Chains A and B, each alone.
Chain A
Amino acid sequence: MNIWNWVALSGAAVLALIVVGAVRRRAGASASGRRFFRHPTAAPGLFVLTFFVMVALAAPLVAPFQPYEQIDVDHLQNHAPSTRYILGTDPLSRDVWSRLAHGARISLGIGALAMFVAVTIGAAVGATAGYFRRWVDTALMRLVDVGLAMPRIFALLVVVALWDRIAVPVLVLVIGLTGWFATSRLVRAEVLSLREREYVAAARALGARPSRVIVRHVLPNAAAPIIVSAALGIGNVMLLEAGLSFLGMGVPSPAPSWGNMIADGWSKMAVAPWSATFPGLAISLVVMALNAVGDALRDALDPRKEAV
C-alpha cells in the first residue's frame, strides 16, 4: 500500500461517516426516520454498507495492485500481512487486499442486481396474483409452491453446471430467477388487502386499466414490505454467490469474488489463514450490516408502530 491508497481508503471511511451523519440528520425530521435510527445497530450497519460500497466504487484507488496481478510467483506466495501487503498475499502471490477491494464490486454488484431481478419478478407476480385473484392467483401460487419446495442450491448447481465458465450476467439472472418466490408471496398478501381499499375502487371508477391501477395505486402502497424483503434478501444472495463461487461454480477465476477468494485460500488455511479469512470476514460484515439495516427498515416502515 502506498500513501495514496491510504489517503483514498481513509477518504472512503470519512465519506461513509459523513453520509451516515447526513442521512441521520435528514431522517430525524420524520417519525419513521427516527424509528430507523433508534435501532442500535442501524447506524453502524449503514456505515459498514456505505464504506464497502465506497471501496467498491473506488477500488482502483484504494487497491495498490491489479486484482489479477501475480506479483512474484516464486517468492511472494502466502506472504503474511505487512505494510506493503496489508492483508497478505494468496497462494498465487496476488495481493489479498487488492482482490478484496475489486471483489467487492463483483460480490456487492451480484447481490444487488440479483435481488433487483428477484424483487421485480416477485412484485410483478405477487401483484398480478393478488389483484386478479381467481385462476390467475391459483396458477401463479401453485408455481410459487413448486419454487419454494425446490432446494434452491441444488437447482442452482444443476443450472450453473450447464456452463463451463458461467458469465456473470447469467449468474445474476439465474440467482434472481430462483429467488423471487418468497417475495411474491409477501407482495400477494399485501395486495390482497390493498385491492379492497376505496382508492383502488376509485381508480377503477375513473376508468384506469388494471395495469395502471396495480402500478400506480397498489404497488406504491406495498413498497415498505418490498424494500424490507429486498434489504434482507441481498445478504442471502451474497451468501449464495459466495457458496457457489466457493464450490467453483460461481464467478469464474481469476475474476475476484469474495467466495472464490475463500476457495483460492482455503487449501493453505493452515499456513496462510489470511487469504481465506479476510474475504470471509468481509462477507460476514456486509451480511450482518444488511440484516441490521433490514431489521431497522422493517421497524421504521411498519405503520403499525406509528402509534408507539
Chain B
Amino acid sequence: MTEPPEPPPLLRVRDLKTYFVTEQGSGTARAVDGVSFDVRPGETLGIVGESGCGKTVTSLSILRLIPEPPGHIRPGSFIEFEGRNILTLEPKELRAVRGNQIAMIFQEPMTSLNPVFTVGDQIAEAAIVHQHLSRAAARRRAIEMLQLVGIPDPEERVDHYPHQMSGGMRQRVMIAMALVCHPKLLIADEPTTALDVTIQAQILELLERLQAELGMAVMLITHDLGVVAGTADRVVVMYAGQVVEQASTVELFARPLHPYTEGLLASVPRLDASQQDRPRGRLHSIPGQVPAATAWPDGCRFHPRCPYAWDRCRAEEPPLLESGAHTARCWLLAEPQRRSSPVPPPPPPPP
C-alpha cells in the first residue's frame, strides 16, 4: 500500500526545552526538556499526560507566553510554524501570529474572561487587533461568532457580561474569541476540564464541527484519555517534560508500548471491566507521582514508577525508539522479551 505524499507539517516543534529558574536560584525546573512533535494541517493532535508533565508549558511556549523571568526557552529549541521559526520572531511579528494564525483556548472559562467587558467586546478584540475592523463591524462579527458556537439569542447575548453566563456558555465564548480570525492552529489547553460531563461532550462536539468547517488543526491538551479517544487523530504522551510515546490514536489504544501509557489506559474507569482484569474490582493506579521538575530521576524518568524497570532503565536514558509509525521512549522496545509483565495490563478500550 502506498500512501500519498504527506503535506509539510503546519507546526514543527524540535527539541523544545523550557526551563524555569526557581526562587532562590537553588535549582532549575526543566519543565519541558527536549520535546519534538509535528502538527499537520487540519489534524487533531492529542497531548496527554498527568499534571506537571509539561503539557501546558509546551503549549504556552509555542505562543511564547512563558513568563520571563523565571522561565526561558533554551537556545537550540526550534518551533517552526509554516516555515517560520516562532522563537526568532520580532515582538510585532509574533503578535501578528498570536490570535490570528495560532489561537489558544484556556482551561478555566470562569477566569479567562475579563469581568469588566461584555463578551461581545472580548470576542471582537482579536478582529479589531488583527483586521482593524470598525466597532460596528466588529460587533456584527461577534454576533456571527456567537451564532457559530451555538449560543442562542446572540444579538442579546453579545451585550452580556461574563458573570451573566454559565461555565459552558463561557467556554463557548472563549472558543468564539479564539476563532474570530480563523486561525490555522487552535491550541486547546484542557478545554473541558472545568466543565460538567454533559457540557464537556457538547464542547468537544462543537470543536470537532468547527474544525471541519474552518479546516484548522487542533492541538488538544488533556489529561483525559476519553477526550483523546473521541477526538484526536494522533496522540503524543508526555511524561516528566518529555515525549514518551507517539502514535495514531487507534494504534495507541490498541497497542500501548510505553508502560506509562499502559498505566494511563488501565486507570481509566470502565463499566465493562471484568473481574479477571481487576481482581478486587479496584481501579488501577500508577504508583507514586510525577517527580519534581528540578530533579528528574537518572536514566529513564519513569523507572521509579515502572513495573518492568530493570538495571538498564536506572542507568541509561532511553531514546525514542521506533516500532513502525509508533515511537516510544522505553528500553522494552529494544528488549521486548522483558515484557513478562508483573501486573498484566487490561485490554485497552476501543477508541
Task: Establish whether residues B114 and A208, one from each chain, have CB atoms under 8 Å apart when the complex forms.
Answer: no
Identify the B interface with A (CB < 8 A): 63, 65, 69, 95-100, 103-104, 106-108, 111-117, 125-126, 129-130, 174, 177
A206 touches B126 (CB 8 A): yes
Residues of B within 8 A of A199 (CB): 111-115
**Are A208's CB and B108's CB within 8 A?**
no
Residues from chain A with a CB closer than 8 A to the CB of B116 are: 220-221, 223
Q: Interface size on A (CB < 8 Å)?
A: 19
Closest to B98 in A: A207
Most buried by A among B96, B97, B99: B99
Contact check, B129 vs A134: say whether CB atoms are below 8 A apart: no
Do A201 and B98 contact each other (CB < 8 Å), given the known contacts A206-B103, A212-B129? no
Q: A198-B106, A220-B116, A221-B116 are in contact. Are A206 and B125 (CB under 8 A)?
A: yes
Q: Which of A203-225 contact B (CB under 8 A)?
A: 203-209, 212, 216-217, 220-221, 223
Q: Are B112 and A198 in contact, with the CB atoms below 8 A?
A: yes
B111 with A198: CB separation less than 8 A = yes
Q: Do the beta carbons of A207 and B177 come within 8 Å of each other?
A: no
Cβ B126 vs Cβ A134 within 8 A: no
Residues of A within 8 A of B115 (CB): 199, 221
B111 and A206 within 8 A (CB)? no
A-B contact pairs, 7 of them (CB 8 A): A197-B111, A205-B63, A205-B65, A205-B98, A207-B126, A208-B95, A220-B117
Complex Cα gap A212–B97 (Å): 17
Residues of chain A whose beta carbon lies under 8 Å from any beta carbon of chain B: 134, 197-199, 201-209, 212, 216-217, 220-221, 223
Do the beta carbons of B106 and A206 come within 8 Å of each other? Answer: no
Give min CB distance, A201 to chain B, whole Å. 6
Given contacts A212-B129, A220-B116, A221-B116, contact A205 B111 (CB under 8 A): no
B125–A204 touching, CB < 8 Å: no
Taking the closest CB of chain B, its distance from the CB of A231, in whole angstroms, is: 20
Give the distance to chain B from A129, nearest Cβ to Cβ, in Å. 16
**CB proximity of B299 to chain A, nearest CB, Å:** 36
Contact among B103, B113, B130 for A205, CB-based, below 8 A: B103
Q: Please, how many angstroms separate the alpha-carbon atoms of A19 and B69 in the complex? A: 51
Contact A209 B95 (CB under 8 A): yes
Report how far A208 CA is from B129 CA in the complex, Å: 6
The CA of A216 and the CA of B112, in the complex, are separated in Å by 14
Question: Using Cβ atoms and an 8 Å threshold, which residues of chain A touch B125?
Answer: 203, 206, 208, 216
Given contacts A199-B112, A201-B65, contact A207 B96 (CB under 8 A): yes
A221 to B114, CA, bound (A): 8
- Return the chain B residue nearest A195 by Cβ: B67
How far apart are the CA atoms of A217 and B63 in the complex, in Å? 19
